[in-house]
A and B are shown apart, each in its own frame.
Chain A
């Protein structure tokens, strides 16, 4: 009996400590960003200038960069991910489908830094020498205007992020498609429907929840990405409309500047950015759970 008590106490202790560490974590982030909050208040979030040399700090370039790269990479990944899922679930045979699905899953296992490495040496020159000139016919659209570029750009970041998050959408959607009851699809076919109608009227609506859930989690993954992004985005705190201009994201600036920051305001601003990122992450997870439960 006593040994049971001790056992229970041990597991309880670990669990409480675990919880405590989580709370400590949030607390530390908040405490260490205090200085910036006292200095700028809400202005920090909409401040557009980030200049450590002049001790001026504003978060907007990074918030903008993080959101733009994540949202646009999601916009690219979503159709490709769903398309891949349809391919794996409805187009090809069950037997090779299992194998190919595992291959797609493997993508998620490629370290971000390896993708960044490939990005620097291959994708960035591609964007500079090929993609940008190719899209220059569209340069009247501010999104694509030419920047006298090096290829280190928001566009490059969007492309690598897209590749990294597509497997999340593809694999969760494919699983969900496989779970659509056969008799529902059969019933639709029996009405004289074509395959694309069965997929659009029966399968996809049936898995709505899974699609939303997968997409939100992919989004969360995207804005937390550090390495691949910082290696190709150019790391300049500008807010520009053109996708070919360099940019900066929250994880990237923290990675680049935290170890070298000396001024207290600089450090607390970086911590504040980390806090913002953490809040974004918690919000995404929270919203996803809410949607799944209430639907």
Chain B
């Protein structure tokens, strides 16, 4: 005999399953179309050639690939040391007031919408100093990458068991050397994982690059010049009227999504070690 309560149980199960299914179906639709339409656009030229003039089919997205690479390298070179230094300070310092202030600032910075980060760099770097440039773009990305890494790094340091710290100190190793060579090494998996998480975030960011890196059809190794990036290219090409460019946008979206997937998987594998 099935009671009303058994029915309510079933309804809850159905609701939960339905919710999950809706999310999964949408996910599969999006990823599916990206793969299907993206693969069509991919060929050797896609990866190694520069864009042709708009409207002319063929050409590739080398500018965006190299651009993304440059932006990531520069911004990580800035963010990682800064985040590490701040995290170490938070770990070691006894100045509770200052630490709380920094944590609050870090929290606020971490929640900042990516476009606002772009606005800040636009005001401070683009307008007065470099104009649209890869450097400005990288700085905007650093703004976004650093706060998350500060939190993760601090957590990683705190998780190192106290015994290891004590053991190293009792061996007579100097304080800061202990920190750097022992603790950071112990915390390395989590630190690496944090770096990958931040990396995954910034290679997909578009908004802060719109008025910093700005985009460019040519290959630019000069950081004071504007540069393209994968997400920027997707945005510009998607909104353009040319079919060929729209197809390339799908191709770039496919590449970007695969990259994100790989970074995610890598970060999971490292943090499990």
For chain A, the bracket of interface size reads 35 or more
Q: Which residues of A contact B24 (CB under 8 A)?
A: 103
In the complex, are the beta carbons of B210 and A255 less than 8 A apart? yes
Q: Besides A15-B89, A223-B113, 12 other CB < 8 A contacts?
A: A81-B19, A86-B19, A91-B17, A102-B268, A109-B200, A111-B205, A111-B234, A118-B34, A226-B207, A231-B239, A258-B122, A271-B119
Give the shortest distance, in Å, between B78 (CB) and chain A (any CB).
Answer: 11
Binds A, one of B7-15, B164-172, B185-193: B7-15
Binds B, one of A46-54, A57-65, A142-150, A275-283: A275-283
Give the shortest distance, in Å, between A216 (CB) and chain B (any CB).
Answer: 10
A-B contact pairs, 14 of them (CB 8 A): A11-B86, A11-B93, A12-B89, A14-B86, A87-B17, A110-B31, A110-B204, A113-B235, A122-B33, A170-B23, A194-B9, A195-B9, A226-B115, A251-B113
A residues 97-145 near B (Cβ < 8 Å) are: 100, 102-107, 109-118, 120-122
Binds B, one of A17-25, A36-44, A181-189: A17-25
The reply on A84 being an interface residue by CB < 8 A is: yes
In the complex, are the beta carbons of A80 and B23 less than 8 A apart? yes
The reply on A254 being an interface residue by CB < 8 A is: yes
Binds B, one of A2-10, A206-214, A237-245: A2-10
Give the shortest distance, in Å, between B62 (CB) and chain A (any CB).
Answer: 19
The reply on A88 being an interface residue by CB < 8 A is: yes
In the complex, are the beta carbons of A113 and B9 less than 8 A apart? no
In the complex, are the beta carbons of A285 and B9 less than 8 A apart? no
The reply on B56 being an interface residue by CB < 8 A is: no
Q: Which 9 A-B pairs have the closest CB atoms?
A: A83-B19, A224-B113, A111-B204, A14-B85, A87-B16, A11-B89, A226-B207, A7-B176, A22-B105
B residues 114-153 near A (Cβ < 8 Å) are: 114-116, 119-120, 122-124, 146
In the complex, are the beta carbons of B19 and A79 less than 8 A apart? yes
The reply on B1 being an interface residue by CB < 8 A is: no
Interface residues of A (CB under 8 A from B): 3-4, 7-8, 10-12, 14-15, 18-19, 22-25, 28-29, 32, 79-84, 86-88, 90-91, 100, 102-107, 109-118, 120-122, 163, 166-167, 170, 194-197, 199, 220, 223-227, 231, 251, 254-255, 258-259, 270-271, 274, 277-278, 281-282, 284-285, 289
Q: A121 to B113, alpha carbons, bound, how many Å? A: 26
Q: A88 to B23, alpha carbons, bound, how many Å? A: 12
In the complex, are the beta carbons of A15 and B85 less than 8 A apart? yes
In the complex, are the beta carbons of A15 and B86 less than 8 A apart? yes
Q: A3 to B33, alpha carbons, bound, how many Å? A: 57
Q: A102 to B27, alpha carbons, bound, how many Å? A: 13
**Chain A interface, >50% SS class:** helix
Q: Which residues of B contact A3 (CB under 8 A)?
A: 174, 176
In the complex, are the beta carbons of A166 and B115 less than 8 A apart? no
The reply on B216 being an interface residue by CB < 8 A is: no
Residue among A8, A12, A25 with max Cβ neighbours from chain B (10 Å): A25
Binds A, one of B46-54, B217-225, B249-257: B249-257
In the complex, are the beta carbons of A18 and B86 less than 8 A apart? yes
Residue among B16, B86, B200 with max Cβ neighbours from chain A (10 Å): B16
In the complex, are the beta carbons of A122 and B23 less than 8 A apart? no
The reply on B73 being an interface residue by CB < 8 A is: no
In the complex, are the beta carbons of A281 and B111 less than 8 A apart? yes
In the complex, are the beta carbons of A91 and B8 less than 8 A apart? no
In the complex, are the beta carbons of A195 and B23 less than 8 A apart? no
Q: Which residues of A contact B11 (CB under 8 A)?
A: 196
A162's closest neighbor in chain B, by CB? B26
